[in-house]
Amino acid sequence: MLLSIPFFSDAWKELVFFQPIEILSTKHRSWKIFLSEKLFRSHSEQFSELGLRIEYILRKSPNQADKTETAKLAKELIQSGYRFVRIYDESYRLIFSSEPNQTVFQPDLRLGGLEIKPSDWAKDSQGDLLYRSSSGNLYFNLSQEDANRMLEEASGIKPSFPPIESPNEVFYFVFSEIGKHRKLSETNLSYHSEIVPGKSRSEILPGKNKEEESEQLYTILEKASHSDFGMYRSIWERTQRENTSIFLKLPRDSRALEMLKILSALVVSCLSLLIGILASLLVFSIRSEMRFSEREDWVKLKIDLLNLLKKAKG
């Protein structure tokens, strides 16, 4: 909001102008768009399930830059069924290879201009797969034949590989629709974390198998995503695209607090406008009085000069 007060010089105007103020934060909307697009993109990929497995293995190794830790990561991947594994750092330099006599750099990334977003897949010039970790620090070079074979073996009910719980209190559930059934694909909430006020997933769905749990969990989250149009907003926000549904829970102020912020801003704006009008009227009155006084002094000076001229002639 800009409040213009007339009759003030430019220096005064700069002092009394109000700069635009963000009343309600847009961080919630930005986080929602960013995270939703990232999750939709990762789950629309053919090899998204394999990417989740890699991330699940990655989170076991906090120091991924260490060669010993990298070797452990590669060993787990080879035990999962890959014939070969090559791992590159963020500068495309080879830091591990299960095969001897490999080039120092990944040629497609280093020289070919191949760009991969975090948590995305791509094919290199040899027809093999390249996966970039969600942190963007590591690249994994794997066989596409192995990836296709592993997806076929894991067809049907697939396990969920939840990453570490969000440190900034942004939580999500991702469901995939398979026919008339919904399967939990990914979440960053642990089994004992609260999903509705006062109740955790383990308390609401004790002893359920994965199919029943996914269906009932989806029903609970969908119910919790419906707004009651009161002063309290819905707990979860649901977004759907094709066969993928995402439930997001982000830290937000209550509707009552947001209404209070808006009303406070309106009150401050009205008071500022009133003060500006009163100030402009005061300045106008002072300047009008000064002009009137100057005219009186000028008229009085003229009368005195005329009297002096009359006395000089007389």
What is the pLDDT of the chain when averaged over all its residues?
76
* Three-class secondary structure of residue 254 per DSSP: coil
The amino acid at 72 = K
Q: Which residue has the higher pLDDT, 53 or 314?
A: 53
- 2: pLDDT strictly greater than 70: no
Average pLDDT of the residues in 245-254: 79
Q: pLDDT tens digits for 189-200?
A: 777 778 887 777
Q: Do 137 and 90 form a contact (C-beta atoms < 8 A)?
A: yes
Torsion region of 207: left, alpha or beta (phi above 0 gives left; psi -120 to 50 gives alpha): left
Nearest to 81 by CA among 130, 132, 154, 131: 154
Which helix (H) or strand (E) segment holds residue 10: the answer is helix 10-16
**Higher-scoring residue by pLDDT: 268, 206:** 268
Contact 63, 138 (CB under 8 A): no
Residue 165 C-alpha from the chain's centroid: 16
- DSSP string covering 17-64: PPPP--SS-SHHHHHHHHHHHHHHHHHHSTTHHHHHHHHHHHTT-S-T
Residue-wise pLDDT for 40-54, tens only, equals: 777 777 777 788 788
pLDDT digits (tens, 9 = 90+) for 229-243: 555 677 888 888 888
Looking only at Cα atoms, what is the longest distance across the chain?
Answer: 128
Distance CA 273, CA 271 (A): 5
Confirm if 43 and 174 have CB atoms less than 8 A apart. yes
Average pLDDT of the residues in 197-210: 73
Separation of alpha carbons 180 and 182, rounded Å: 7
Please, what CATH class does the domain formed by 43-154 belong to? alpha beta
Mean pLDDT along residues 11-39:
62
Domain assignments of the chain as residue spans, ordered by start: 43-154, 167-249, 255-306
On the question of pLDDT at 273 being above 70, the answer is yes
- Which secondary structure element, helix H or strand E, spans residue 256, and what is its range? helix 255-313
CB contact at 8 A, 73 and 62:
no
| Spatial CB neighbours of 151, under 8 Å, sequence gap ≥ 6 | 46, 47, 49, 50
Q: Which of 54-68, 122-136, 223-237 shows the highest mean pLDDT?
A: 122-136
In this prediction, residues 175-185 reach a mean pLDDT of 82
Element housing 247 (H / E): strand 244-249
